[in-house]
Chain A
Amino acid sequence: MMDGYIQEKIQKFEEFVDGHLKPQLVRAIAERDKVFEQQKVFSDLRRNIENLEKNSVTSLRTMVNLGSEVYMQADVPDTQRIFVDVGLGFHVEFTWSEALNFIALREEKIARQIEEYTRLIASIKARIKLVCEGIRELLQLPAEKSLPERVF
């Protein structure tokens, strides 16, 4: 009787971990990675704009990717005005300084988001650990020895 009950419980716990918590963790990590990417995009953009400012570039010639790694030369006669993606498919025309302000705000927000996701991930991991401990207790296994403290 008892054994069957315990087995059932353990199976429920494992299903919870495998079917619920772990996918959650994976999703959270993927989300965070996306935000990391955004962070990189905006930091790159900020650095590029700063570069333009520093070198006081007024016209620009670049290569445009037409797709499938086929490039064509493009000419930008005026670099003063820049259209920055503000989300939801909208692009706003900025001057360099305006763009830099926006990017700073955006980066701040992204950093907050990253922190949020990191916390979420940590909590999911903690929950997984908790359930695993519960299973261990149900099985009446001895507690794992805590890993030795890392010495730096």
Chain B
Amino acid sequence: MEEAAAAARAAAAGKGTVTPFASLFPSNEAQKAAKRVEEKIGEKEKELDCINEFVTENANLINLVSKLPDELNHEIMVPFGKAAFFPGRLIHTNEFMVLLGEGYYAERTAKQTVEILTRRGKVLDSQVESLKANMRDLKAEASFFDVTASEAAEGLVEIREDFVEENPSKKSSKSGKFLPLHPLSQLALLGFSPQSSPFNFQAINDKNDNKNDAVEDDEYARIMSRLDELEKEELEAEDEEVDAEDDDESNVQQHDAAESNDESDTGEQTDATESDSESHENMQMEAKSNQLPHQIHSETTKSGVDSSKAFTGSIVESADIIQTNSRQQAVTSPQASKPAFDSSKATTGSIMEGGDPIPTNLQQSVTSSQASKPAFDSSKAFTGSIVERTYNLPTSRGQPTVSSQVSNSQPSKPVSRFKMRRP
């Protein structure tokens, strides 16, 4: 029953085939091939004979060289050209001139010459070995051809039936897995690359919707969900922040956001202090970090509503940059400390995304708990682009007016990090 079914399946699929061997390998063709291989073997044999001759010659020469110094001189016929001799004798029987190759000769004693010759002998031996191996292969090949020829002559047939047909489910499942993967990965690539590139950054800022393209990647989806959570938190935080941001915007042009922040931010500061009353440093840190985001916000807000989100995202990616910024600010900002949630967002982002930012945060004594409160997730799509903003921040502080221009020419450093994270 089963066999019949299998046969039927195979027949239906057209997989089972019966091929006369002779049609695949015509016997005369196989014989020709065998002949060719035989010829090759003959050539190899000649080569081998030649090398064997060298070997014996070399052995004789070693024998001769080791014996020559036994006597002071030897009576010989000295060759004079190829067709003439002089009667003469060998002198200086312990001095040999040995060709090293390329026309260079070395003067050696008998012992040294023997050493050289034995080394040459070893090379010859290895050549003989390789030749013999070669010939073995050829002989196997020749026998295979012979067998094939004889089998073809006997009228053997080849029955071929694909085993795979027996369990088509596996096959289909495999292929099924593969097919979906490709579009996914492609989508992910497509979605990501534009965002990560600095050029698209601006556009993406304006249209957050673009993010959705990339969401399909599994990991990306995971990150996105997390970011969504953070975004909600951030939105809450933003409401509180609004006051501070307004102040910041006005201040940006004044170069020093810190001064303006002093007064307006007091309320937010209290929040921060509540969370961590003891850590004066923490407050400073927040203030520092806050300032960065604030400035950014001020700039970005002008351009687009989503800018703040984008900004936070960037912070996550390029946490290093932010931290450096916060350090710089640390000196100036302690008094100005505006409680900006953005800063905290940035820190949280860094904690989540990469290990680098965390240690630096610790050094600055920013407590993660505080940072975690403010959520920033807004940066789903922005992570790549955001980097640019953060990068500008330091410069913007020093020269607020210039910063906006600079932002466009962002280095792709963050982008690369982003890519690295992606599987």
Residues of A within 8 A of B (CB): 41-42, 44-45, 48, 60-79, 81-85, 91, 99
Contacts and interface: CB of A to CB of B under 8 A. Distances in A.
A68 B90 CA distance: 17
B93 A72 contact: yes
A68 B86 contact: no
B79 interface: yes
Nearest to A71: B97
B78 interface: yes
B91 A73 contact: yes
A90 B169 CA distance: 88
Interface residues of B, number: 35
A83 B97 contact: no
A100 to B, nearest CB: 12
Given A62-B78, A66-B64, A69-B99, A74 B84 contact: no
A83 B58 contact: no
Interface string B71-111: 00100111111111111111111011111000001000000
A68 B76 contact: no
A76 B86 CA distance: 7
Contacts of B97: 63, 70-72
A69, A72, A82 pick with most chain B CB within 10 angstroms: A72
A41 B68 contact: no
A73 B99 CA distance: 14
Nearest to B120: A68
A45 B81 contact: yes
A127 to B, nearest CB: 29
Interface in B98-136: 98-99, 105, 113, 117, 120
Given A72-B96, A74-B76, A42 B83 contact: yes
B90 A48 contact: no
Nearest to A91: B85
B92 A81 contact: no
B186 interface: no
B61 interface: yes
A78 B87 contact: yes
